[in-house]
Each structure stands twice: as structure tokens, then as C-alpha cells.
Structure 1
């Protein structure tokens, strides 16, 4: 009699928001019910750059790129860092990001599709973006590689989450529009991780 193997959980790379860290993001996501979290193998990493507030470094807090640097001089360095983490800690099936981490998450599949970055790792199969925005869109200028990432519609399952009191509510839809058939959840909160449930069945 053949043994039945336990289905493999999708392994998800988690990218925190700006001026935050992996531990805080894990705590934010802990409000989701166990039957959702148990469906995924979540891996949290810190951003590569120290975070600043009012010109002062915030201890043990990080960013994925310098958001106050209009030249985005370290943006590609941050993407390369993420790719290295994916090589070392993967393979990964998908990426989940919030705020600044969501902005970066939104770019990754397009960069991979056009062989700009993430050429050393398996194809990203799906993304979850919480309070993210389209870098290089109507509101946020971006590095040149953002144009490449969004030069064609991104055709993978995507879940986009933002709130009615979220300062990202004006820009998050533009990122969703960059994907083919995005699933969008609009909640009543703000710039936060909302409580979610069964909807994850539709993407994972």
C-alpha cells in the first residue's frame, strides 16, 4: 500500500515595511488565523539598509531602499540582496510584502520575467501585496528598471490588500492594474495588516 505524502506548503519570502524588521512583520501577520498561516511556510528577512527617521538611524530597523533618495541609488543593490537571500534560503514559491516591502514585491515578478534580476531562482508563482504602490507609476517616480518590470502585464496570481483609511489607497490600485486578473481586498482599516481568512485558498 502506497503511503500518502503530506502536500508541500508553499514557501513564501516575507518583506517588511520601511523602518521595520522581520520580527515586527511576523508579529503583524500573527493576527491572521492559524488555518491561514498553517497553509504557508513563511520566511522573514531584514532589509539590507539601516532605517532613518529625522536623519537618525533607528536601531534594529531596516529598509529595502533609501526612500528619501530620489535617484534610487541603492535600489538595485537591494534587489540583488533579495535575490541572494532567495538563493540561500529558498527555493521560494511566492513573495509577500507590506508597504515598502510591498512596493518591492510588486516589481520582482516583472524583473524576473524580463531577466533583469532573480535569474538564479525559480519562477515566482504568486505574490501578496499589502498597502503597496507602483514604483515608477503616476505617483511614485522610480528607477529605470521599474519601467522594464512593468513594461508588460504580469501574469501570475496576485492578492492586493489595502484599507479605506490607508494612505496607500490612492496608489495601491495602480499596482494591482499592472497584474492580470488581480484579486483585491479593500478593508475598513488603515495602513496595516488586516484580519483575513479563507480568501487565501484562492491564491495558494
Structure 2
């Protein structure tokens, strides 16, 4: 039982990647393809594979290799310049992300990568997911840009700073559009493979390259989380000392500092209410009235802290 609780706790603490499948396939199919990769690549992540919002309206290319049902995210014309139900797709995904996130990254194949990049671009312009934490990474497999100028001029108007890796096949019919998407990101990682328009099996060299890239992001987030934790701990110490005339608190971990009760040097118990938002610990609620040397003090202070990342690396 203890091992099961520990495992469940670790799963809850893992960072999350939203994985969007290609046109007229499914989340289960993309999951099966990604599971062929070295499992250590995503060992720090929980991967979420939803199905597209619309049932496939035509023949699927995977009918002979993977069972239905099949789905699509939106529809388009042969020149990929006119899109049907794109707004509904965006609304569906934003709602899904808000309900099931937060997500630290996106991964997508073909249509899934294309819509993922669009969400990143629109978020960068403040058009959607305004209350969602920053997207930290993006893995594009055969993704491309939308070709409608009214979309391009907004979503890709500036270099996107999200760390991105782009898997592009030498024989992919979308090779050049995929390379064009790559140019929209700042300092992207390019991994080429000899196949066509597929989620490729990764050879040892490509696996090592992608694993190293992801490991670097995880370490960077770990450093960021540590800095925020130290800043938050220092701030909380000062708040308590200033508002309750306390001496310096003995060194303690952040979890100890944010426990339900803290004692000052006079032995008085100072209750602190910890409030949790939907995305983890974000603030310290108003301190309750306490009696120190027969005087009553009350204060309201907030500790803004990105606990989602801190939980991952605690």
C-alpha cells in the first residue's frame, strides 16, 4: 500500500506534456508510436493523449494498421489555406488544457503539431490561456505553419521563445513546410530522420540527442524552482519577523516554514492558513489574529510562488 501511495504521489508531481495526434488517427495511436521511443526520454513527464474533437470525416491512412475510431482536429482545403471548425478546435483545446493541466509542454504529429504551434503563438500574443503557466517545451513531428495570412501575421509575427525540437523526415512530403515552422522558433533543435510523413523510430543517436535536450530543460526548471523556493522562504521569514516582532527563525525547509503552525522564540503558536489554488500552492492567506505580549496583530501578505514546478522537483 505504501509503495502504491508513493507511486501515485510521484505521478502527481510529474510535469505534463499534451500530445496531439495527426489527422484522422487517434490519441491511442500516437501513444503507441511514442512508446516505441526510449522510455528514459520522458521519464520526468506524464504524457496525455486526447482524441481530436471531430470524428474522422473520411478514410484514414492507418485503417489497415490500427483499429478505429479515428479523429481529426479541424478540416481544411487542399491548399491548406481555408480551415473549417478551427475556432471550435482552439476552444476545445483551451478548455481541455485548463481542466486537465497545467501542461509544461506540447508534443504533436502533423496536424497535432501544427495546432500546438498555433496555440503557442497565440499564447505568446496574449490571445488565449492567459492564466496558464508558461509552456516550457514543444516537440514537433512533421508540423507546419498555417498559411492563412491573417493567422500567420499574428501567431508567427515574432520568434517564439518556447524551447522546441523538430523531427523532420528527409522523405516527408511536408519537409519544407516543417522546416519553415522551425524558423519561427528561437534556437530550435533539429533532428532529421530518413523516413517520410511518420512518427519515426529513433535511433541511438537521435534518442541521445532528444534525451539530452529534455534533460537540459528539466535541469533548468529545477534551478528556477530552487531560486523561487529560496526567494519565497526568505520573504516568508521577513513577513513573519516584521509583522510579529519575531527574531530570526532557525533554518527550516520550505515545507516546515509553510506548515500549519510556526512557533516564535517566545513559544507562541502562530497559525498560518495555507490556501491552495487549482494549480498548487500560490499564496499564504491572511495571518490569523494572535496574542504576542498582550497585543493583537493582524496582517495580510501573499507569497506568489510557482508551486507546480516546485512540486515536480521537490
- What TM-score comes out, normalization by structure 1 length? 0.86
Q: Is the 8 A contact 1:83 1:120 kept in 2?
A: no
Asked if 1:20 corresponds to 2:31, the answer is no
- Measured in 2, the distance between the counterparts of 1:105 and 1:146 equals 14
Asked if 1:101 corresponds to 2:112, the answer is yes
2:34 corresponds to? 29
Q: Count residues in correspondence.
A: 193
1:49 corresponds to? 54
Q: Greater helix percent: which structure?
A: 2
Superposed, which structure 2 residues align to 1:23-172 within 5 Å? 23-53=28-58, 60-68=69-77, 70-136=81-147, 142=148, 144-172=150-178
- Measured in 2, the distance between the counterparts of 1:48 and 1:12 equals 18
CA drift of 1:70 comes to: 4.9
- What TM-score comes out, normalization by structure 2 length? 0.57
Residues 102 and 90 of structure 1, relative CA distance in 2, 3 Å threshold: same
- Measured in 1, the distance between the counterparts of 2:149 and 2:46 equals 31
**3-state DSSP class of the match of 1:82?**
helix
2:189 corresponds to? 183
Q: Is the 8 A contact 2:81 2:146 kept in 1?
A: no
Residues 6 and 169 of structure 1, relative CA distance in 2, 3 Å threshold: same
User: Where does structure 1 lack aligned partners over 5 or more consecutive residues?
Assistant: 137-141
User: Where does structure 2 lack aligned partners over 5 or more consecutive residues?
Assistant: 1-8, 218-314
**3-state DSSP class of the match of 2:75?**
coil
Structure with greater Cα Rg:
2
Per-residue CA deviation, residues 146-175 of structure 1 (Å, 9 max, x unaligned), is 421111110110000011111111211100
2:180 corresponds to? 174
**3-state DSSP class of the match of 2:166?**
strand
Residues 6 and 22 of structure 1, relative CA distance in 2, 3 Å threshold: closer
